[in-house]
Structure formats: C-alpha cells, structure tokens
Amino acid sequence: MRRATFFVLLAVCQAQDNPFASDPKAAETARPMFRILCAPCHGLTAEGGKGPDLTLGTYNAGDQDRDLYRAIARGVTGSEMQAYAGRLDDKAIWRLVSYIRSVGHKETNPITGDVANGERLFWGKGACGQCHKAGVRGNSIGPDLSLVGRQRSLAYLRASLVTPDADITPGYTTVIVIKPDGTKVVGVERSFDNFSAQLVDLSGRYYSFIREDVTSMKREFRSLMPSYAGTFNDAELNDILVYLTSLRGAK
Amino acid sequence: MKFVLSLLTASLALAQHSAETWTTYGKNTLGWRYSELDQINASTVSRLAPQWMYQTGVPGKHESTPLVFDGMMYTTGPSNYAWALDALTGRPIWSYKSPPPADIDLCCGPVNRGFAVHGNKLFKVNLEGKLLAMDAKSGAVLWEATLEDYKKGYAATAAPLVVKDLVVTGMAGAEFGTRGFIDAYDMETGKRAWRFYTVPGENEPGSNTWSKDTWKRGGGSTWITGTYDPELNVIYWGTGNPGPDLDGDVRPGDNLYTCSLVALDADTGKVKWHYQFTPHDVHDWDSTSDPVLLDLALNGRTVKSVMMANRNGFFYALDRATGKLLVTKAYTKVTWADGIGADGRPIRISGQDPTPEGNKTCPGMGGGHNWQATAYSPQTGLYYFSSSENCMLYYKTKQDFEEGQWYQASTVDRNPSGTGRIVALDPKNGQTVWQFDMVSSPTAGLLATAGGLVFTGDAQGYLIAFDARSGKVLWRFQTGGTIIAPPISYALRGRQYIAVAAGETVMTFALPSQ
C-alpha cells in the first residue's frame, strides 16, 4: 500500500517536472510562440503590459515550474489569463515555461512605498472609490480593482494613473449620446452595439438608448478617469502603486 | 433500365437544386448566395419572426452553411459534429460526432463550414484532415479518405464542392508549415482523382518563385470552398498565405501560388491560369474569399468574369477565361500599395513590411474582407461583403521551422478601436454604392434575395435585413449570440424561411402563417 502511494506520488512529480529544464535551446524555440500568444498582454520583452511583468522571477500563480505550467495550461482565476491546454501541447507549454524562466532576472520589488498611506490616498485625496471598487468598498462605474495586483503590471498601473487613455480596459470606453432635445449624456460603456448603447454616468445612473431614438451615439476609446499626474507627487504615486499591487483578493 | 435510372438521377438532382432548396455552399456553383424566393421582401420583412431554434450544445464558433432539401436541414458544428434536423420543426433526426484527436493543432478553432450533397450522399471534412461521405437518410459513414497527416499540421474546415462525379475539397494549416493543395475524390469510392498543389514542387512551373526547399512548407492553404463554371468546366479556388506568415526574408520571391486565385481544369486539376493578388505576402492576407462568377457588362460587351473582395484591401474582377484583370479598386484604407499596375501587380509602397519593432500597415491582419461569405444579387447587380476598418502593428521575428509546430514568425498588435462595414459594391467599376457602418469588425457572412433584401449578422448577435438597393435597415433581431455563419433561405410548404447559426443555436425565421 505504501509502495503504491509512493509510486503515484513519483508519477505526479515527474509529470510536473520540466522535461526541458536542462535543455538551453528550449527557451529559444519558445520565443516566437511567446511573441504570438503571450506578448499581446505580457509585452514583447515579457516586462509586462496589460498583464503582469514576467521578468521579476516571482509570479502570481506560484514560483515553481509546475506553477507556471499550471497557469499556462489552465489559466489564472480572477484574471484575463486564458487556459492554453487546448491550443498547446505539453511540450510547447514546457518550452514556454523555459522561456519565461530564461527572461527572469530583475529585483523582486522595484519600488518602495507606504501601503497604508496608499490606501488612505486611494479613498481620500484620490477619491478613486467614487468610480472603482476595492474589496467591498467603492463604486462600480470603472473597473473593479479588487484583484488588480494580480492582473496588471506595475508599469501598466503607473501609466493608467498618469495617462488613463493609454489603454482602455475592454468594455470601459466612453460613450456619448446626443438626445433629440440636444442634451448630451456622457458615461462609461456597459454595452455598445450597432443599434443601441447602455452606459453609466459618473453619478452612477444607468441609461439604455436605441439608435433610432437619439440624434447620435458614439464610442470613444478614451477614459473618463482624470490623470493623477498633477494630483499626487512622486512619493504619493509610489504609495498608491504599492497599495494597488497589494490588491490580490484573499490569500 | 439504365436509361430509367439515369433519368431518375437527373430528376432527383433537378429537384435538389431549386429556388426552394439550398444544396451547395454558395447556393449555386457560381457562388452567388442569392435566393430566388421573394415572399420575404421590403414590404413584409417587418413581420419576420422566429420559428424554431435548435441548441447544438457544442461550444465554439458555428460557421456552417446549412443545406436544405427533402424537408431536412443538414448542418455541421465545431469539433466534428453534424446534425440532420427536420426543416419544419427543428427536431433532430440524426446526429454525428467524431471527437478530433487530442493532439491536433489548429490556428483558428475547431470549426467546420458545412456539407456538400449529391443524391443521397452528403460530404463533409473532419478537422484531422479527413473527407467523409455519409448517407443523408441515416448519417452512416459510407467512406472516409485521409487528405494528409494532421500531425504535420494539416487540417480541414471548408465545405466540399461537388463537380460532376467528383467531390472537391481544400485543406487548412498554413500556420504550421504545411504545403497547400486542392483535392478531388471519386464520390462513389472515395479514391483520389487528382491533386493540385498550390505550391509547386521542384522544377515545376513557378518553383523559381521559392528559394531552396522553402516550398515544402510554403503554405497556400485552401480553407474556403471554391466555385465552378460548368460551361468552361473550370474550378476557381482562392489560396492562403505563404508560410511563415510574417517573416518573408526566409522565402524570397513571389511565392506562387499563395495569395492567388487558381483556375483548374475540373477533370484533371491542371492549372489553366492563376492570378496572384499579393506576390510575396508578409501580412497574412489569404485570398480565400469566395470567387464569385458573374457575367459583367463592360464597355458594351459581356465578359465572363470572376470577382473577389481581397483581404489585401482591393476589389478585383478578372476575365474568368484568361485571368486578365478587368476592374480593380481599393474598397478600404490601403497603405501598402498605390493601386494595381497595368501588369496586374500591386504598386508597392516601401516601408510597409513587418519589422521586429512593429510597423503599422492598413488593412489589418484580418483584412479588409476576410473569408465571411459574400453575396451577389442579379436583381441589383451589386456585390455584398463585409470589411474590417482597421490598421495594425505588424511584427516579424526569426523562427526555426519544426514539423507540426506553429510557424508564423511573429504577430500583430490588435487594434481595439477597429470598426467595420457592410459594403454594397458595383462590380463594373469597384465603386461603393452603399455601406452600413459597424461598431466592430464584422463577423458574419451574407445572403441576397429576390425579395430585394440582403441579410447578415453581427458580432453582438443581431440578425439584420437591409434593403438591397439602399442599405436601409428594414428589420433586425437580437439572437443572443455572435453570428459568424452566413444566413441562408429556403421554402417549405409555401413559406419562405431564413436560417442562420447564432452563438451555438441554429435559428429559423419566417412570416407569420395566414
């Protein structure tokens, strides 16, 4: 009985070891694959974009090879990271793991800041909770930030605070509707199609319009969020970034 | 006896191909997707209402053109599923499934675009590069032929085309270093009658457009059904991108016959002429849109022509007997070429190729017009197709080839603010007559009808009916699922139906019965 258990465990361990761990070419063969599948979110150099920076040597999904394998194969709950097991075979996934390992080199904590002060700024001076949720607090006009520390890289979050128009989270564009009486309704997209628009204005009021009933409706790929470049000084920006990266849901 | 039998077969074939039925991918072998039914028209379409829905329960993109005859609808789904549905009620009569191999690699999902039919035999491809004949009454498999080994990256997704006693099929897999072809099989035995390689082998004509052994993985897949002119006995088939898609440095030359239209002798598969829309393509601009065959009135004479809204952004009409260019015009924003020269070759603008750092070019990787079925109405003389309005950053990289592995040599940055249009174009001059702007890239194919209507769907789930002459939206219905497949039309017990797959559901629409 004990022997059987031992064999099962051994088999599991073997299945979770990277067969290319000692093959220096594996990482290089996966580079083109990384550019096709991963670069759209993690960046051409893996330094992150919309998705996390993969060069830090530490990862949201866990730091072992098997954790990276699992993240690629099954996706990451609570993020936009999809499951690739249906599209990539075992070997291809392990080669990607090798590639990601080969680009990991940076310090694990590139900025220092005061989390507690960041949290105070978020709810106070920044008034971020007017539009965003973090945990149970805040509003649902902009994207929910409860897991944003898992979902976004530090550089992306900094860019979002300073130049909010740089990249718009899908489904959060700005919608502008002109009604027949000339009044204008501006809000955050909830849905937008060829015949109708649904939006929420900054007071949280929900609207639904049919195209024929209004003078015009359009969607703009910009954010209704203001830039915080002039609101926060450098130290405050770091504090709020450290706070945002700490938002990872329950451990 | 033999005479009686052949007479019976002839009448059966005649009954199969009528205004009431839909028996080939493009409605007729000319690829018009034009229904002669007019019960649903500009004055009645506002009363169009759902009749039945069949929920397939199979996840994935439903791209199939259903066939309808003898009171049955035959349609296919993703992952090697197929169904025979009672056309009156939508009730399933038989179903077929054959799980694809777990280790199959596909560029674009486990899709299938439908059946072909002759008599009581249905023909379809399976993803793993198989062609099947099935008994229409039972769904039983009569024979199965292997096109090519899926482990080397070959796949199959297109609806086959019946040409006389042959069933003709294309293949997919140009993202995996394959070598494209068009195959014809004996419909009784499943034995291969001929194969045309879209990339010539050593010492064959056109082989000098490849360097060294790059032709072996030259791509040029044939993943959309071609068309057939019975008078000329010629098959017209579009070909896909060369491989690798974005790094052209490893394959200097024109790379024939990729991104081309090939005209093949239907009996032998020998190429009569070819026209290459994008020589040495580096933007993944497959030329796989349906080649639509029509007689075009030009300068007081009628020319047998073939037209295509190409993924590279240009509309083309060619003489279909010779391959000579008749009409061309950009139908969308194009930054890579300054028109098409008198020699039929694009006048390239330099600096538009992919780079390691990314280079912006229009149209985007999906085109212009991609594969979504187009329609031609002899009533309006207009050609209807979808177009993405999009530019993209194109990247290239060095990539070593490995058999069966993804071989694209880099990628694009997708543009989230890309939009689209439905275009009605006059093939005599390439001018857009009307357009309908869409908030995102169009997803669905089109249908034209004698009721003066054009039908299509959209990414957000609307099924839409346009006035074919003006483009005015006359009717729409929110189906609740992205529409990718083209709508079709047929008649049953005196009522005209519109059918389309939306999301994972096959839906039909008709006017309320009196």
- For B280-320, the pLDDT digits (tens) are 999 999 999 999 999 999 999 999 999 999 999 999 999 99
The structural domain count of chain A equals 3
Q: Is residue B145 a contact partner of residue B131, using CB atoms and an 8 Å limit?
A: yes
Beta strand B505-510 pairing with B49-55 = antiparallel
| pLDDT at res. A90 | 86
The CA-atom distances, in angstroms, between A79 and each of A13, A52, A144 are: 27, 10, 12
How far apart (Å, rounded) are the C-alpha atoms in residues B490 and B383? 21
Q: Are A194 and B458 within 8 A, CB to CB?
A: yes
Which of B402, B417, B462 has the CB atom closest to A194's CB atom? B462
> For the segment B374-407, what is each residue's pLDDT rounded down to a tens digit?
999 999 999 999 999 999 999 988 888 888 877 8
Tell me, yes or no, whether A81 and A28 share the same domain.
Answer: yes
Percent of chain B scoring above 70 in pLDDT: 97
* Residue among B145, B146, B123, B125 at smallest CA distance from B133: B123
Beta-carbon contacts of B127 under 8 Å, excluding residues fewer than 6 positions away, are B79, B80, B100, B104, B106, B110, B112, B150, B155, B156, B157
Residue type, B463: L
* CA distance to partner chain B, nearest, from residue A202 (Å): 23
* CA distance to partner chain B, nearest, from residue A153 (Å): 18
Tell me, yes or no, whether A23 and A93 share the same domain.
Answer: yes
Q: Which residues of A touch B405 (CB under 8 A)?
A: 92
Q: Is residue B251 a contact partner of residue B242, using CB atoms and an 8 Å limit?
A: yes
How far apart (Å, rounded) are the C-alpha atoms in residues B303 and B67? 31
Which of B397, B414, B438 has the CB atom closest to A194's CB atom? B438
| pLDDT at res. B340 | 98
Tell me, yes or no, whether A132 and A209 share the same domain.
Answer: no
Which residues are registered as beta bridge partners of B432? B425
Tell me, yes or no, whether A192 and A156 share the same domain.
Answer: no
Tell me whether residue A109 is in a domain: no
The CA-atom distances, in angstroms, between B286 and each of A69, B74, B293, B472, B483 are: 34, 28, 19, 31, 22
Which residues are registered as beta bridge partners of A39? none
Which of A35, A87, A92 has the CB atom closest to B397's CB atom? A35
Percent of chain B scoring above 90 in pLDDT: 89
| pLDDT at res. A106 | 62
Q: Is residue B198 a contact partner of residue B185, using CB atoms and an 8 Å limit?
A: no
Which of A36, A87, A193 has the CB atom closest to B411's CB atom? A36
Q: Is residue B413 a contact partner of residue B485, using CB atoms and an 8 Å limit?
A: no
Closest-CA residue in chain B for A218? B439
Determine how many CB atoms are found less than 10 A away from the CB of residue B281: 26
Closest-CA residue in chain B for A90? B103
SS3 sequence, B163-183?
ECCEEEECCECHHHCCECEEE
How far apart (Å, rounded) are the C-alpha atoms in residues B508 and B500? 7
User: How high is the ipTM of this complex?
Assistant: 0.90
Q: What's the CATH fold of domain B2-510?
A: Methanol Dehydrogenase; Chain A (2.140.10)
pLDDT beneath 70, residues of chain A: 1-16, 105-109, 250-251
Q: Which residues of B touch A87 (CB under 8 A)?
A: 105-106
Closest-CA residue in chain B for A30? B399
State the average pLDDT for chain B.
94
DSSP H/E element including B186: strand B181-186
Q: Is residue A154 a contact partner of residue A53, using CB atoms and an 8 Å limit?
A: yes
Which of A39, A192, A195 has the CB atom closest to B462's CB atom? A195
Tell me whether residue A88 is in a domain: yes
Q: Are B460 and A194 within 8 A, CB to CB?
A: yes
Structure token pair of residue B196: 């045309």
What residue numbers bound the domain in which A7 lies?
2-103
The CA-atom distances, in angstroms, between B23 and each of B14, B26, B32, B444 are: 11, 9, 13, 20
Tell me, yes or no, whether A10 and A49 share the same domain.
Answer: yes
* CA distance to partner chain B, nearest, from residue A116 (Å): 36
Tell me, yes or no, whether A95 and A160 share the same domain.
Answer: no
Tracing tokens 């930054």 back to the chain, one arrives at B335
Q: Are B410 and A36 within 8 A, CB to CB?
A: yes
How many CB contacts within 8 angstroms connect chain A with chain B?
A: 50
The SS3 assignment for B420 reads: strand
| pLDDT at res. A1 | 38
DSSP H/E element including B72: strand B72-77
Tell me, yes or no, whether A198 and A98 share the same domain.
Answer: no
> For the segment A186-233, what is each residue's pLDDT rounded down to a tens digit?
999 999 999 999 999 999 999 999 999 999 999 999 999 999 999 999
Interface test with A, best of B355, B405, B462 (most A CBs within 10 A): B405
Helix, strand, coil shares of chain A, percent, nearest 5, are: 40, 15, 50
| pLDDT at res. A45 | 83
Tell me, yes or no, whether A31 and A98 share the same domain.
Answer: yes
Report yes or no: A212 at the B interface, CB cutoff 8 Å.
Answer: no
Beta strands in B5-159 (DSSP E): 34-35, 49-55, 67-69, 72-77, 81-86, 92-97, 116-118, 121-126, 130-135, 141-146
Structure token pair of residue B3: 């005479």
The CA-atom distances, in angstroms, between B186 and each of B163, B194, B228 are: 10, 9, 17
> For the segment B334-384, what is each residue's pLDDT rounded down to a tens digit?
999 999 999 999 999 999 999 988 899 999 999 999 999 999 999 999 999
Beta strands in B378-471 (DSSP E): 382-389, 392-394, 412-413, 419-426, 431-438, 446-449, 453-457, 462-467
CA dihedral A144, A149, A152, A155 (to 10 degrees): 120
Report yes or no: A44 at the B interface, CB cutoff 8 Å.
Answer: yes
Beta strand B412-413 pairing with B116-118 = unpaired
| pLDDT at res. B196 | 98
* Residue among B253, B252, B224, B227 at smallest CA distance from B239: B224
Q: Is residue B499 a contact partner of residue B66, using CB atoms and an 8 Å limit?
A: yes
Tell me whether residue A250 is in a domain: no
Residue B408 reports pLDDT greater than 90: no
Tell me whether residue A11 is in a domain: yes
Closest-CA residue in chain B for A28? B399
How far apart (Å, rounded) are the C-alpha atoms in residues B457 and B462? 5
Tell me whether residue A108 is in a domain: no
Q: What is the CATH number for A156?
A: 1.10.760.10
* Residue among B99, B78, B107, B79 at smallest CA distance from B405: B107
How far apart (Å, rounded) are the C-alpha atoms in residues A142 and A168? 11
Q: Are B395 and A44 within 8 A, CB to CB?
A: yes
Structure token pair of residue B360: 């912006």
Q: Which residues of A touch B421 (CB under 8 A)?
A: none
Tell me, yes or no, whether A127 and A8 share the same domain.
Answer: no
Determine how many CB atoms are found less than 10 A away from the CB of residue B321: 17
Question: What are the backbone dihedrals phi and psi of residue A9, each rounded to the nearest 5 degrees, phi first?
Answer: -60, -45
What's CA B91's distance to the chain center, in Å?
28
Q: Which residues of B touch A221 (CB under 8 A)?
A: 416-417
Which residue intervals of A1-81 are DSSP H helices?
A: 2-15, 24-33, 39-42, 65-74
| pLDDT at res. B460 | 97
Q: Order the strands of the B116-118 sheet from edge to edge.
A: B116-118, B121-126, B130-135, B141-146
DSSP annotation of B486: P
How far apart (Å, rounded) are the C-alpha atoms in residues A93 and A221? 34
- Whole-prediction pTM value? 0.89
Which of A36, A39, A87 has the CB atom closest to B408's CB atom? A36
Which residues are registered as beta bridge partners of B292? B307
Q: Once rounded to an integer, what is the mean pLDDT over residues B468-496? A: 98
Answer with the residue of higher pLDDT: B200 or A170: B200
Chain B residues within 8 Å of chain A (Cβ atoms): 103, 105-106, 395, 397, 399-400, 402, 405-406, 408-411, 413-414, 416-417, 438-439, 458, 460-462, 464, 473, 476
Report yes or no: A194 at the B interface, CB cutoff 8 Å.
Answer: yes
| pLDDT at res. B3 | 42
Question: Which has the minimum average pLDDT: A39-53, A223-237, B16-30, B120-134?
Answer: A39-53
Structure token pair of residue A40: 């759209």
Question: What are the backbone dihedrals phi and psi of residue B314, each rounded to the nearest 5 degrees, phi first?
Answer: -105, 145
**Domain spans in chain B, listed from the N-terminal domain onward:** 2-510
Residue B257, preceding bond cis, omega within 30 degrees?
A: yes
Query: Which of A103, A130, A159 is the C-terminal boundary of a domain?
Result: A103
> For the segment B253-283, what is each residue's pLDDT rounded down to a tens digit?
999 999 999 999 999 999 999 999 999 999 9
Report yes or no: A190 at the B interface, CB cutoff 8 Å.
Answer: no
Question: Residue B166 region, left (φ>0) first, then alpha (ψ -120 to 50), else beta?
Answer: beta
Beta strand B121-126 pairing with B92-97 = unpaired
Q: Which residues of B are catalytic?
A: 284
DSSP H/E element including A123: helix A115-123
Q: Which residues of A touch B458 (CB under 8 A)?
A: 193-194
Tell me, yes or no, whether A158 and A184 share the same domain.
Answer: no
Q: Are A221 and B395 within 8 A, CB to CB?
A: no
Which of A29, A44, A194 has the CB atom closest to B439's CB atom? A194
Alpha-carbon Rg for chain A, nearest whole angstrom, is 22
Residue type, A19: P
Tell me, yes or no, whether A122 and A88 share the same domain.
Answer: no
Q: Which residues of B touch A39 (CB under 8 A)?
A: 411
Q: Is residue B389 a contact partner of residue B444, using CB atoms and an 8 Å limit?
A: no
Tell me, yes or no, whether A47 and A77 share the same domain.
Answer: yes
Alpha-carbon Rg for chain B, nearest whole angstrom, is 21
* CA distance to partner chain B, nearest, from residue A156 (Å): 16
| pLDDT at res. B405 | 78
Give the up-direction half-sphere exposure of residue B10: CA atoms within 13 A in the CB hemisphere.
6
Beta strands in A25-164 (DSSP E): 133-134, 137-138
Q: What is the CATH number for A186?
A: 2.30.30.100
